[in-house]
Amino acid sequence: MANPTSSLREEEVREQEGQNPPEAESSFGDILNQFEQTHSHETPGDQGREATVVAVNDDNVFFDIGQKTEGIMPVAALRDDKGPISVKPGDVIQVGVKGRNEEGYYELSLIKVERPKDWTGLQNAFDEKLTISGIVTTVIKGGLSVDVGMRAFMPASRSGARDVPEMQTLVGQEIACRIIKLDVEKEDIVVDRRVVLEEERAKEKEARLSGLQAGMVVRGTVRSLLDYGAFIDIGGVDGMLHVADISHGRVNKPADVLSVGQELDVKILKVDPAKKRISLGLKQLQPDPWTTAGEHYHAGDRVKGTVLRVTDFGAFVELEPGLDGLIHLSEMSWSKKVRKPSDLLKPGDNVEVVVLGVNPADKRISLGLKQALGDPWDEVEQKYPVGAVVEGPITQLKQFGAFVQVTENVEGMIHVGDIVNDKRINHPQDELRVGQIVRAVVLENDREKRRLRLGLKQLAPTPVDEYIAEHKQGDEVTGRVAEVNRNRATIELGEGVHAACALREKEQKQERRSGPVDVSALSSMLASKWKGGAAATSAEEPESKTDEVKAGQIRSFRISKLDAEKKKIELELVS
C-alpha cells in the first residue's frame, strides 16, 4: 500500500510547477476499508443546513446555524446566476459549512450541489469536473475521509486547512469538493476541496472588485509591508498603497509609519479589472499643504525647518510635512568660503531661514540661510570707514591682489599696486603668503558693491614721512632745483622727497633786453668793481645773475610749511 503522504508531496510539487492535479498513483481503498472496520459505528453528517440571518453589515452576513458559535458569509458571496442576493435579519437560507476562521466563526457558503448516489453519478462528476457535496467523517493518516455517496480520500494539502487542528474542525461538516481521481474497480476516490475554495474566493474577489470605483474611501487592514509600498486588505481584496502615496511628507519606507495589522481608511485611486489591481492612497485623504502655502508663508518671514537632503547646488529644508523649500548655495553664506552645501549643512540639521519667495503653483519656496544670520555689511560701513586700520589673515592670493579676512563674513582686497611702496611686483605672492596676518588701511568702502578695498603700502613710512618727522618749520635746508615752471619750482630735498617753492618776480628767469647796450655805463661798472674788488657793489649795479633760479642749481631754502597728513613740504628761497 502506497504512503498517502508521499502522494501528497508529489502532487504539491506538480502543482507548484503549474501542472493540473494528477491522478493518485496508489489506491486508498485499504486505508478506507481499515477505517470502516474500526469506525463502523460512525454516521455521516447532514447534507447542508438551514441558517437564519441574525445581522448584516457592509462586508459580512451573520447566521444562526444551531451551534454555540454563529456562522459568517461575505456579502459578496451571496450571489446567484441573476446577481447579488439581498437578505435581512430573520431570512432563512440553505448553507454549507466550510470550516472556522481565525475568529472562531463558522465559514459558510451557498451549497447548491448534491452528492452522487452511485458510481455512475461519481463518474459523470469526475468527467465533467463538477463540484459535488460531501460529508467529512474523520481525520486519517495523510488527510481526511469524506462521504461523497462513497468513501473518498481528501489529501491534507487539498483540504484547505492549514494544520491538523483546523482539519479536525471540518469533521462532521458538509463541504464542496471536486473529484480528482476515480478508480471504480479499486473503489479509489480522491477529492479536492481547496480548488473549490479558491474558485469561490476568486468569485468573491471579482464580485468585490466590481463594486469598487476610483474615488471611494474604504476601510482596510495592513496585510504586508515592502520597501516600495504596503498591501492593504479592503474586504477580501488586496490593494497596493505605494510609498509615495502614504504621506505628503517624505517617507523612506512604509515600515517607518505603518505596521502589519493596522486598520486605516484609504482612498481608491485606480481600479484595473483586467489585471485585478487596485491602487490606494493615504495622503489623498489629507489636505495638500501647497494649497495654503501662499497664505502661510511670505517673503521676509523667518521660519524654522529641518534639512531633508543636500545636493551639489543647495539644501532642501522641510518646513512642514509635505512642504519643503530650497536654500541655494549662493544664499548660504555672505562670504565666498562655502564651496558646496555639505560644507555647511547635513540632513537632520535644524535651521532658521528667511523666506525669499513663494510659488505655490510650481510648488517652490526659495529660502535664505545667510539672511537669517544678518547682513555683515550693516556694520561694516560704520565700523570700517575710509582711513580705518584693519587686521586679519591673508585668505587667498590672485594675480591682481590679495584677500584679507576682515570679519567672519567680510573680506577686503589689497590690489597688487597697493602692497609695497618702493618697487613694482608682478604677483602678491612675491611679498605675501596665505595665512599671514597683516595690517592694512581702508581705501574704499562701497556697501552697494559690497567692496572693501585695502592698502598695505599706505601704512609703511615713506621718505617724505621720515623727512617731515626729522624737520620743523623754519629750518634752512639745501636742495636741488628739479623743475621751474613760471612762478613755482620743484625742489628735490632727498631721494623721493620733493617740495614746492614759490618764486618772487626777481627770482624768475629774466628776459634778455633787445635795446642797444650802454657802453659807458658798463665801463663805469667794471672800473668800480676793479677798484673795489669782486665784492664791491653799487646802487646802480644790476642784480646778480645768481638770483636767477634755474633747473639743476643747488640752492638754500627755508621750510615754510610741513603737512604730515598730506605729505606736503613748502619752501622759500634763501640764496
* DSSP state, residue 234: S
Please provide the CATH number assigned to the domain covering 212-285.
2.40.50.140
b/e for 417-441, b at 16 or more Cβ within 10 A? ebbeeeeeeeebeebbeeeeebebb
b/e for 144-154, b at 16 or more Cβ within 10 A? bbbbbbbbbbb
Residue bearing cell 457535496: 133
Which CATH number is 297-363's, of 1.10.1040.20, 3.40.50.300, 2.40.50.140, 2.130.10.10? 2.40.50.140
Check if 4-200 and 377-459 are the same fold. yes
- Say which CATH architecture domain 377-459 belongs to: Beta Barrel (2.40)
Please provide the CATH number assigned to the domain covering 4-200.
2.40.50.140
Number of Cβ atoms within 10 Å of the Cβ of 410: 21
Neighbouring residues of 297: CB distance < 8 A, sequence distance ≥ 6:
303, 319, 355, 358, 365
CATH H-level superfamily of 463-510+532-573:
Nucleic acid-binding proteins (2.40.50.140)
Minimal CA–CA distance to 323: which of 234, 242, 249, 227? Answer: 249
Residue 554 to residue 549: CA distance in whole angstroms: 10
Quote the pTM value.
0.44
SS3 of 267, please?
A: strand
Q: Would you kindly state where each structural domain of the chain is located, as residue ranges?
A: 4-200, 212-285, 297-363, 377-459, 463-510+532-573
Write out the chain's pLDDT in tens, 575 residues.
333 333 333 444 344 333 444 334 344 445 444 444 444 333 333 446 788 999 998 888 999 988 888 889 888 778 766 777 888 899 888 887 777 777 888 888 776 555 676 788 889 989 999 988 888 999 999 999 999 888 999 999 999 888 888 899 888 888 889 999 998 888 899 999 999 988 888 887 877 887 788 889 999 999 999 999 999 998 778 899 999 899 887 888 899 889 999 999 999 999 888 888 899 999 888 888 888 888 889 998 999 999 988 998 999 999 988 888 999 998 888 766 678 888 889 998 999 999 999 998 888 999 999 888 877 787 887 888 888 899 999 988 999 999 998 887 788 899 998 888 777 888 999 889 999 999 999 999 888 888 889 998 888 778 888 888 889 999 999 999 999 988 899 999 988 899 999 988 765 554 333 344 444 443 444 344 333 333 333 333 444 445 788 888 999 999 999 988 788 999 999 87
Strand intervals (E) in 57-159: 60-64, 71-74, 79-80, 83-84, 92-100, 106-109, 131-140, 143-147, 151-155
Contact (Cβ atoms closer than 8 angstroms) between residue 352 and residue 303? yes
